[in-house]
Structure 1
Amino acid sequence: MSRRLLLALPLLLAACSERPSFDPDVVKATRLGEGLPAGFMLGTSTAAHQVEGGNENQWSVWERGQWPDGRPHIKDGALSGAATDSWNRFDEDVRLMERLGSNAYRFSVEWARLQPTPEAWDTEALARYQQWARTLRQKGITPLVTLYHFTLPTWVADTGGWENAATLEAFEAYVARVAEALGGEVDWWCTINEPNVYAVLGYLEGEWPPGKQDMKATATVLSHLLEAHALAARQLRLKDTVDADGDGHATRVGLAHHVRVFQPASGTTADTTVAALTDSFFNESVVESVRTGRIRLSVPGQVSIDREVADLKGSIDYLGINYYTRDYVRQYLGEPALSRQYVPRGREKNDLGWELYPEGLYLFLTRYAKLGLPLMVTENGMADHSGERRPYFLQSHVYAVEQARAQGVEVLGYFHWSLLDNFEWAEGYEPKFGLFAVDLASPEKTRTDTPAVATFQDIARNLGLTPLP
């Protein structure tokens, strides 16, 4: 068996290993937060295009487009538009963070807003992001800034986007300017959000821009995103030399890696093999690349990339983990991914049909502990229109973090997705992920508590934080 398949075994054989009880009664009886250390980052996440409003980028263009059969690219033809208007309501959102008792906030800066054309640079927008970070720090909330969260300036997309190696140079220059401007207020950085998701949905499954179904292009894009991360990490360490929080580290660099449990649909060789290959490509290739400094992407008979990248090894100070669900995998050679993924009947699911499986977060945290690097849960949440099931979802996943820490795993923080209901990419505004619901029809974009706000506040209090009224 290859080394890549061996790396996949921890999840494929999870049922055979001992792990903590995730019985709901056990979870609910636990005083969550008390198992977390002082200084643990307990916060929420957002992304610029999903909450700011008023952005014009390659996603905006995609939103206005249609499939060949006339269907809109976005469910129900939704446009991101004003989103939650967080560009103009940031102070209001900070008050929500204070009410939660959170001590950290992960947000992204919008490349297209800062550099709408190759020659233009919006210094006023950059100053506003700088002020956001300063405001957060003054409120005792640590800013964690993501530099790339799925959206490209149109001038970059029009020249091939991440398929074009020239994008690397443009991205590096953008990162350098952001690092110089925000470095005095920001120590924690996330270079790239979910490179595997962007590559798969945009270039393999074709559901996101540019809507391709090409395995070679998928591998090329993922390879370039990993190289872009290495370039960004180098620039951050060169340009951000100010230790904003006084902990002896001017920069803490990571990336946010999306992970999913891929469970074989059966014990057949076909299903177990394709599940292992899927796990290897989706869950392991990014991690192995930053661990070794060598990008190895291989799909038998379709694509093979094997190259060393300068500055990739040692480029992260922490690994961000975005975790949501488990998929069952059945071999199907007619699909680009060589499989079909589904959730069996009778499993509890969120509004998007994703299985609720908190054990998976524990499994990934203990799996990646072998890297010898600190870990951060940079996203975790559920689509729940009523909001009634989100409190237990939050409890069970924070419980997973505490159980991993009890096993000696160094988990530095947990960021819930999301602070607010927002624009959820191809799904539009239908999925509701926010701790705070947003009335998008109201001129004020009114924010209201969901039941999980009280749950988050309880965890914060048990951690020693103080939610404000």
Structure 2
Amino acid sequence: MDYKFPKDFFFGVSNAAAQVEDGLSDPWLKLAEQDKVSCFKDVAHAKDRLRFWTNPNIEIELAQELGVDVFRMSFEWSRLVPEKNTWDQESALRYRDILLSLKSKGIKVMATLFHHSVPTWFQDAGGWSKRESVDDFSFYSKKALDAFSDLVDWWITLNEPVPWSYLTYKEGIFPPGIKGSIRSHNQSLKNMAKAHNSFYAFAHQSHPSIKIGLAHHMGWHRGRGIFNKLLAIVTDYLTHWSFIKLIGKNMDFFGINYYGAEWMTLKGPAQYPDLEYSDAGRAVSPLGLEVQLKRIHKRYPDTPIIISENGVGDDEDWVRPTYIHEHLAAIYKCINQGIQVIGYIHWTLSDNFEWSDGYGPKFGLVKVEREKNLKRTPRESFEIYKEICKQKGFTFEARNQAWEKYKSKKGLKRNYWRSDDNRSGLNSPKKRIMGINDWRHK
């Protein structure tokens, strides 16, 4: 085995409540019904998402078949606290059933408290931009800790707080869909940091051995030309490190969500014809993951790192097999250089609702045919990742085979779900030609 990971290294998959649960009446559904979500209104069973609430066992059994060590999921805040300071015990018991089902199959749980979705009452009161948000999250998080601490192995307080806040309070792309200000964005980040730090202190008092961290989005910001390179440096600090400074060392692990490189211009992320992209518009770059892992380690040398999300939008499954191998090769290199990376969570198990992009980009190891009552079909990448999980690694031959198969697609057209300016999703895909530039990890 050429790439054999340490014995205690874990492999996993992930989802999020607002992306997979049915029966929700949340701000995302309201935004979609206002026609502010791409690829939604004409999609079959759109409101059902993946029916993970009424029938979670389909996904859980797929995770078991995949052979993962860890299943990352989230609790839907609006279910558990449907009104201010009101805990819904029935929903809590349902979540316990889901957690117990995972545990019964030998799968550990990584649970996220806030994953891009808030209760309507919370949003209507100003959300994270208001001081009261810290107390509201405190009520919710403490109740969740009491309800689920015996079944959760890792806790994530916040998923990608910086891009979520910017797209919500500045750009108005996320619910409630109203453009705001940098001031509101900055205030929300301060409140989220306070909420995290408060929960971290409280939880460690009552549960000293608890493991708490963040899932922090860290794309690799790059630029072509002097101005764009300077822009990338500034954006890198504002989006990656300024928020982390508010957290300090209040994390037992550093979760990094990494999808690819983001080539910066004044008009927004660029699309270059000589680069490979996911069908969601991110440039594929395993090297960027190595760069970010080394930067995290330099700042937090004693903090374990978990890849809390890594994946690629790829309906055809032409890119994903080699994408997985190359990003794991980057992680393997970092581990051998003394960086404490302890786990890898792939995003995602099955195609799901991708926020403002709706059901366009396909990130799943499992294909979901919505017009066929959400029929699941494992892709080739499912079998590849399954073998990696089983062997806790892969061979150089398997890595090369994946790359050669990817190269064989040169010149073919694949679905691409981003607008020409790369700032929004589409209701139907355009086609992008597979160029096959050499993005392999060296």
Give 2:28's aligned residue. Answer: 59
- The unaligned stretches of length 5 or more in structure 1 are 1-29, 66-71, 242-248, 292-313, 333-338
1:233/1:316 contact within 8 Å kept = yes
Q: 1:124 to 1:464 in 2, by over 3 A?
A: farther
1:175/1:235 contact within 8 Å kept = no
**1:438 equivalent in alignment to 2:397:** no
> Residues of 2 paired with 1:388 and 1:274: CA distance?
32
Give 1:398's aligned residue. Answer: 328
1:56/1:113 contact within 8 Å kept = no
| Structure 1 residue 115 displacement after superposition | 1.3
| Structure 1 residue 287 displacement after superposition | 2.3
**1:74 equivalent in alignment to 2:9:** no
Comparing 368-377 and 207-216, the one that deviates more: 207-216
Q: What secondary structure, in the 3-state scheme, does the structure 1 residue paired with 2:39 have?
A: helix
> Residues of 2 paired with 1:154 and 1:258: CA distance?
25
> Residues of 2 paired with 1:117 and 1:218: CA distance?
24
**1:283 equivalent in alignment to 2:218:** no
1:418/1:434 contact within 8 Å kept = yes
Give 2:386's aligned residue. Answer: 457
2:157/2:214 contact within 8 Å kept = yes
Where does 1:112-261 land on structure 2 (aligned, <5 Å)?
112-118=78-84, 120-210=86-176, 211-239=178-206, 241=207, 250-261=209-220
Superposed CA deviations along residues 138-186 of structure 1, whole A, max 9, x for unmatched, are: 3221100000001111111111001111011011011001100101111
Where does 1:244-393 land on structure 2 (aligned, <5 Å)?
250-266=209-225, 268=226, 270-291=227-248, 314-330=249-265, 332=266, 340-370=268-298, 371-372=300-301, 373-393=303-323
1:31/1:462 contact within 8 Å kept = no
Quick one: which amino acid aligns to residue 459 of structure 1?
I
2:190/2:246 contact within 8 Å kept = no
Q: What secondary structure, in the 3-state scheme, does the structure 2 residue paired with 1:76 have?
A: coil
| Structure 1 residue 439 displacement after superposition | 2.0
> Residues of 2 paired with 1:58 and 1:163: CA distance?
16
Give 2:431's aligned residue. Answer: none
Give 2:436's aligned residue. Answer: none
TM-score by structure 1 length?
0.79
- The unaligned stretches of length 5 or more in structure 2 are 395-442
Over 6 Å off, 4+ runs: none
| Structure 1 residue 251 displacement after superposition | 0.8
> Residues of 2 paired with 1:273 and 1:190: CA distance?
32
1:144/1:189 contact within 8 Å kept = yes
Which one of 85, 88, 94 corresponds to residue 51 of structure 2? 85
Quick one: which amino acid aligns to residue 127 of structure 1?
L
Superposed CA deviations along residues 343-383 of structure 1, whole A, max 9, x for unmatched, are: 32211111122211111111111110121211000001111
> Residues of 2 paired with 1:138 and 1:284: CA distance?
39
Quick one: which amino acid aligns to residue 365 of structure 2?
L
Give 1:17's aligned residue. Answer: none
> Residues of 1 paired with 2:98 and 2:335: CA distance?
31
1:84/1:440 contact within 8 Å kept = no
Superposed CA deviations along residues 12-61 of structure 1, whole A, max 9, x for unmatched, are: xxxxxxxxxxxxxxxxxx744x1x11121200010001001111222222
Q: What secondary structure, in the 3-state scheme, does the structure 2 residue paired with 1:341 have?
A: coil
> Residues of 2 paired with 1:168 and 1:119: CA distance?
13
| Structure 1 residue 129 displacement after superposition | 1.3
Quick one: which amino acid aligns to residue 263 of structure 2?
Y
**1:102 equivalent in alignment to 2:68:** yes
| Structure 1 residue 446 displacement after superposition | 2.0
Which one of 30, 34, 40 corresponds to residue 9 of structure 2? 40
> Residues of 1 paired with 2:159 and 2:251: CA distance?
13
Q: What secondary structure, in the 3-state scheme, does the structure 1 residue paired with 2:106 have?
A: coil
| Structure 1 residue 326 displacement after superposition | 0.9
TM-score by structure 2 length?
0.84
| Structure 1 residue 286 displacement after superposition | 2.2
